[in-house]
Chain A
Amino acid sequence: MTGNDEMVPKDPRGTHVGNKDIYGRKITYSWWEPEVQYNWALGPAMSRFLEELKKGSIVGRKCRKCRRILVPPRMFCERCYNPTDEWVKIEDTGTIETFSISYIDSDARKIKDPIFIGVISLDGASPKHGIMHYFGEVKADEIHIGMRVKAVWKHVSERTGAITDIKYFKPLKKGGGKK
Chain B
Amino acid sequence: MKDVAVIGAGMTVFRRRMLETGKELSFLATKMAMEEAGIEKKDIDMVVMGSAPDAFDGIHMKGENLSDGAAGTGKPYVRVFNGGGTGVFAPIAGWWHVASGAADIALVVCEEKMGSCYPHPQTAFRHIWDPILDRPLNPNLVWLFAMEMNRYMSVYNIKKEDIARVAVKNKRNAVGHPCAQIPDEKITIEDVLNSEVMAWPVQRLDISPPSDGASALIFCSADKVRQFTDDPVFVSGVGWNIDSTMWTNRDLYFPQYVANAAKMAYKMAHINNPRKEIDFAEPYDPFDYKELHHMEGLLLCKKGEAPILTREGVTERDGDMPMCPSGGLMGVGNPIAATMGQKVCELYWQLAGKAGKRQIPGDPRIGVGQAWGDIMQMGTVIVMRRG
Contact = CB atoms under 8 A, between A and B. Distances in A.
Interface of A: 1-18, 22, 27, 32, 34, 38, 40, 42, 46, 50, 70-72, 74, 78, 97-109, 117-119, 126, 128-134, 140, 145, 162-164
Contacts of A162: 136
B133 A72 contact: yes
A12 to B, nearest CB: 5
B147 interface: yes
Interface in B174-195: 176-179
Contact of A5 (B123, B212, B213, B357): B357
Contacts of B359: 1-4
Contact of B19 (A17, A46, A102, A109): A17
Interface string B26-58: 001000100000000000000000000000001
B358 to A, nearest CB: 7
Contacts of A40: 131-132
B9 interface: yes
Contact of B20 (A3, A7, A15, A134): A15
A70 B202 CA distance: 30
A133 B338 CA distance: 33
Given A9-B32, A16-B17, A132-B137, A98 B176 contact: no
A132 B148 CA distance: 12
Interface string B351-387: 0011111111111000000000000000000000000
Interface string B1-40: 0000000011111111111100001001000100000000
Contacts of B197: 101, 103
A117 B147 CA distance: 8
B248 A14 contact: no
Nearest to B36: A9
Given A5-B357, A163-B137, A164-B136, A102 B248 contact: no
B251 interface: yes
Given A8-B349, A34-B58, A130 B248 contact: yes
A160 B151 CA distance: 32
Contact of B151 (A42, A46, A97): A97
A17 B178 contact: no
- 8 pairs of A and B residues whose beta carbons are closest in the complex: A6-B356, A100-B146, A1-B353, A14-B12, A102-B199, A98-B151, A15-B19, A8-B356
What class of interface size applies to chain B in its complex with A? 35 or more
Interface of B: 9-20, 25, 28, 32, 58, 115, 119-120, 122-123, 126, 131-134, 136-140, 142-143, 146-148, 150-151, 154, 176-179, 196-202, 212-213, 244, 246, 248-252, 345, 349, 353-363
Tell me whether chain A's interface is mostly helix, strand or loop, or mixed: loop
A11 B179 CA distance: 9
Nearest to A122: B248
A12 B32 contact: yes
B358 A8 contact: yes
Contacts of A106: 122-123, 126, 138-140
B86 to A, nearest CB: 20
Contact of A2 (B132, B179, B361): B361
Q: Which residue among B16, B17, B123 has the maximum number of chain A CB atoms within 10 Å of its CB?
A: B17
Given A12-B178, A32-B58, A72-B246, A119 B147 contact: yes
A42 to B, nearest CB: 6
B132 A50 contact: yes
B28 A132 contact: no
B199 A6 contact: no
A99 B12 contact: no
B18 A17 contact: yes
A103 B137 contact: no
Nearest to B13: A14
Given A107-B123, A131-B133, A7 B176 contact: yes
A42 B132 contact: yes
Contact of A16 (B13, B177, B252): B13
A176 B386 CA distance: 57
Nearest to A117: B143
A140 B200 CA distance: 10
Contacts of A74: 246
Contacts of A70: 246, 249
B21 to A, nearest CB: 11
B361 A46 contact: no
A2 B133 CA distance: 52
Contacts of B18: 14-17
B349 to A, nearest CB: 6
29 contacts: A2-B361, A6-B357, A7-B177, A8-B178, A9-B11, A17-B15, A17-B18, A18-B16, A32-B58, A38-B131, A50-B132, A72-B248, A78-B246, A98-B150, A99-B150, A100-B150, A101-B197, A102-B200, A107-B122, A108-B142, A117-B137, A117-B147, A128-B251, A131-B248, A132-B133, A132-B248, A133-B137, A162-B136, A164-B136
Contacts of B137: 117, 132-134, 163-164
Contacts of B154: 98, 145
